[in-house]
Structure 1
Amino acid sequence: MNIDHIAVYCIDLEGMKRFFMEHFACKSNELYHNSRTGLKTYILSFPDGGARLELMSRPEVMKPLVDVFRGGFIHISIALGSKANVDAKTDELKAAGYECISGPRITGDGYYESCIVGPEGILIEVTI
């Protein structure tokens, strides 16, 4: 088991991507845009591998919040190795009383995952 990626909401998605590419030698995937929700994301990989960084933006949602919302941590993603493990962990967490807010499902960008609201409201994504 390991941390697959950490996600951060950004006000300036392109600027944040440039920052990590210029200063930390990250490589980026192509922009993912969900036209239904407005979500835009990049997944950045660091040169030495390991956990990745997901940069996320939903400008139409964030615009009215810009004065109070500065962006930041949104979820932690834990890779479990298989669909069966994702399904089992989702069931385990639901049985323990944690809310599953999505999944298990295949997302628009191809991940198999579910998202659980953990202690103190932290979002925990379990993925392959």
Structure 2
Amino acid sequence: MIAHLAIWTRDLERMRAFYETYFGATASPLYHNPVKQFRSYFLSFGTGCQLELMHRPDIPDDAADALKQRTGLIHFALSVGSPERVDELTSRLKTDGFTWVDGPRTTGDGYYESVVLDPENNRIEITV
């Protein structure tokens, strides 16, 4: 079982607010290690895998193009419970100015999903 995934972020508070607002995440108390200038939140989505958002000022930006496929971890999927909710959330994110990549659609292997980018261009599959 995967316990958590982690994302280095430039704007820790903006990313925390995004996942709380659109996906109902609950954030742990802020962890701060002043010696390493490290801050993080663990986000819970009810049960299962958590998402750790991390910030340290010396971590460089990733120059990868978020709209192109590449090797390495490329996306994670968040289940929202129904096709209608996938449609509603995709529409809301597009209206709120976030980048829409694909869908909603039923994939060849039967998943109903859309793909959007979070505020720092991480791919999220929104699925049932």
Q: Same fold (TM over 0.5)?
A: no
Higher relative contact order (CA 8 A, sep 6+): 1
TM-score (norm 1): 0.45
TM-score (norm 2): 0.45
